[in-house]
A and B are shown apart, each in its own frame.
Chain A
Amino acid sequence: MPTRTYADIEVEVDAEGFFTDPSTWQEGMAPEIAREAGVGELTDRHWQVIKFMRHQYEESGSGPTVRVLGKTSGVGIKELYQLFPRGPAKLAARIAGIPKPRGCI
């Protein structure tokens, strides 16, 4: 497994940079992951989504889709795409240190 160092701590990630063990994530790592993923400075709105992602993951064992984020995170889908361009569910999952949202094959 590849590793990355965020906030001076070495963590295991998968080939696409998603945390393999979400419990190794800390809030202090998020700004560095965001920069690496091309998201830039994290605002309060970003944090609202990131915290919601963590919460959902802890509740259900998987990250929410864009649709669920739009319905329940308090941030609408249009804005989600402004905050996390291209793939909000995927990018926010990576910054929140949880596994990549599941596809099928």
Chain B
Amino acid sequence: MVLGGGAGGTLSANRLHRQLGAEADIVVVDADDRHVYQPGLLFVPFGMARPADLVRSRSAQLRPGVGFRQAVVQQVDLEANEVGLADGTSLAYDVLVVASGAVLLPEETEGLTGPGWGDTVHTFYSLEGAALLSSALARFEGGRVVVAMIDMPIKCPVAPLEFALLADSYFSRRHIRDKVSLTYVTSLDGAFTKPVCNRQLSGLLADKGIDVVTEFNTGTVDGEGRRLISYDDREVPFDLAVVVPLHGGAAYVGRSPGLGDELGFIPADEATLQAKAAPNVFVIGDAAGIAATKAGSVAHFEGETLVANVGHYLRGEPLAARFDGHTNCFIESGHRRALLIDYNNETEPLPGHFPGPIGLPLLKESRLNHLGKLAFEHLYWRVLLPGRDVPGVGAAMPRAGKRPEAAITT
């Protein structure tokens, strides 16, 4: 049984079906039948994507033979190997794949959903939020725009940075860039926290005139007074705030004894993706409480490991497949250019080329990477969700093409 029919759940179910065939009875449970291509949310506020084009049927992404049950999961009973649904029924499982992603928790930040929410204070992390922000931006004629990341973990940690970069490009296109100040606010100690990225990319924001406020942990959002207030009483004033709310695991995790951690994410073995809670529970994607980045590309690379290990588990074999934390992200940098980063738990993002010596440039702005970012949408629906491998791109992080000497500090 697969809980969640988003990126991770869909690709796991399809891969499991292909690997196990009629041996297994596979069902995906999701609360709704609207699968949103979340990477597209970044483009909606700038009129570069239409909300309706990002949504497709969830069940239509599943292979024939994979069951789909539209229902809200209420709790998991690990002792009884049963999932309780909101309609009162329960479903038994032999193996459970948790793929219920992350939820946004704007209520956890004081004032965020108070006066000003949807007016001076916005988010692009939901479909409704992104659509609302697009009209707010279209009306915006100048002033202080602040993009704030409150605290990790968040999905796609580069998305707020991309938003700031795209905003620069957007206001330039509208010929009002000189009337707009852009500030990127982060709880971390830099926009880039890994040494090589920091060295290669620190000029990027400065060149585009984007101010950076670091180690700012937003405690209160004052939408009426138009300011963010940190826990240590610093303030950042704004006319329009774009906030990435705190994230947590799906609500049912907290109602399921032993399953999740204090934020509702599911602790698991970093390499095998087996949940710490029970040997017949596996975790994929944003729901996992592991070090890997929360991104669709990660769910894709995890898919191979997860499916192999579910097979091993069913046959009573040791869990031989291992995930290395491989992450691959395009960072849209505005003016039709993008950067590409590729890394894993051991290797920080390095310059060079991907997937081999001849390929897309890493850690460098290029037109080619922008085309790559746009092509990701096609790849997402056609290759990732069906659970296929991207030709030439393996699940393990490639080393060829990377320049590790760039990591040596002088």
Q: Give me the interface of A with B, judged by CB distance under 8 Å.
A: 15, 60-62, 65-68, 71-72, 77-78, 80-81, 85-87, 90, 100-105
Within 8 Å by CB of B217, from A72, A77, A100, lies A77
Let me know if A90 and B189 touch, CB within 8 A: yes
**Surface stretch bound by A, among B61-69, B86-94, B192-200, B384-392:** B192-200
A–B complex contacts, Cβ < 8 Å, 25 sampled: A15-B409, A60-B261, A61-B291, A65-B153, A66-B187, A66-B217, A66-B231, A67-B263, A68-B262, A68-B263, A72-B262, A77-B219, A80-B231, A87-B215, A90-B215, A102-B152, A102-B193, A103-B152, A103-B157, A103-B192, A103-B193, A104-B152, A104-B193, A105-B201, A105-B349
- B: contact size bracket: 20 to 34
Instruction: Report the nearest A residue to B197, measured CB to CB.
Output: A105
Residues of A near B263 (CB, < 8 A) are 67-68, 71
Let me know if B267 and A60 touch, CB within 8 A: yes
* B207 CB within 8 Å of chain A: no
B-side interface mostly: loop
* B341 CB within 8 Å of chain A: yes
Let me know if B215 and A105 touch, CB within 8 A: no
Let me know if A67 and B194 touch, CB within 8 A: no
Let me know if A103 and B409 touch, CB within 8 A: no
How far is it, in angstroms, between the C-alpha of A87 and the C-alpha of B216 when the chains are bound?
Answer: 8
Shortest distance from the beta carbon of B267 to any chain A beta carbon, whole Å: 7
* B296 CB within 8 Å of chain A: no
Given A103-B152, A105-B197, A87 and B189 touching (CB < 8 A)? Answer: yes
How far is it, in angstroms, between the C-alpha of A55 and the C-alpha of B262 when the chains are bound?
Answer: 14
How far is it, in angstroms, between the C-alpha of A74 and the C-alpha of B357 when the chains are bound?
Answer: 51
* B14 CB within 8 Å of chain A: no
Instruction: Report the nearest B residue to A66, measured CB to CB.
Output: B217
Interface residues of B in 237-264 (CB under 8 A from A): 246, 261-263
* B289 CB within 8 Å of chain A: yes
Interface residues of B in 154-191 (CB under 8 A from A): 157-158, 187-190
Residues of B near A72 (CB, < 8 A) are 262
Instruction: Report the nearest A residue to B194, measured CB to CB.
Output: A105
How far is it, in angstroms, between the C-alpha of A101 and the C-alpha of B201 when the chains are bound?
Answer: 20
How far is it, in angstroms, between the C-alpha of A67 and the C-alpha of B218 when the chains are bound?
Answer: 11
How far is it, in angstroms, between the C-alpha of A66 and the C-alpha of B267 when the chains are bound?
Answer: 19
Residues of B near A86 (CB, < 8 A) are 215, 232
Ordered nearest first, which 6 A-B pairs have the shortest CB separation? A103-B193, A104-B157, A81-B232, A105-B197, A103-B188, A87-B215
Let me know if B158 and A105 touch, CB within 8 A: yes
How far is it, in angstroms, between the C-alpha of A98 and the C-alpha of B190 when the chains are bound?
Answer: 19
Instruction: Report the nearest B residue to A15, measured CB to CB.
Output: B409
Let me know if A61 and B151 touch, CB within 8 A: no
How far is it, in angstroms, between the C-alpha of A87 and the C-alpha of B195 when the chains are bound?
Answer: 18
How far is it, in angstroms, between the C-alpha of A95 and the C-alpha of B232 when the chains are bound?
Answer: 20
* B77 CB within 8 Å of chain A: no
* B235 CB within 8 Å of chain A: no
How far is it, in angstroms, between the C-alpha of A78 and the C-alpha of B151 when the chains are bound?
Answer: 15
Interface string of B106-144 (1 = CB under 8 A from A): 000000000000000000000000000000000000000
Let me know if A103 and B194 touch, CB within 8 A: yes
* B333 CB within 8 Å of chain A: no
Residues of B near A78 (CB, < 8 A) are 219, 231
Instruction: Report the nearest A residue to B217, measured CB to CB.
Output: A66
Given A60-B267, A72-B262, A104 and B293 touching (CB < 8 A)? Answer: yes
Residues of A near B153 (CB, < 8 A) are 65
Residues of A near B194 (CB, < 8 A) are 103-105
Let me know if A77 and B409 touch, CB within 8 A: no
* B82 CB within 8 Å of chain A: no
Instruction: Report the nearest B residue to A105, measured CB to CB.
Output: B197
Interface string of B248-291 (1 = CB under 8 A from A): 00000000000001110001001000000000000000000101
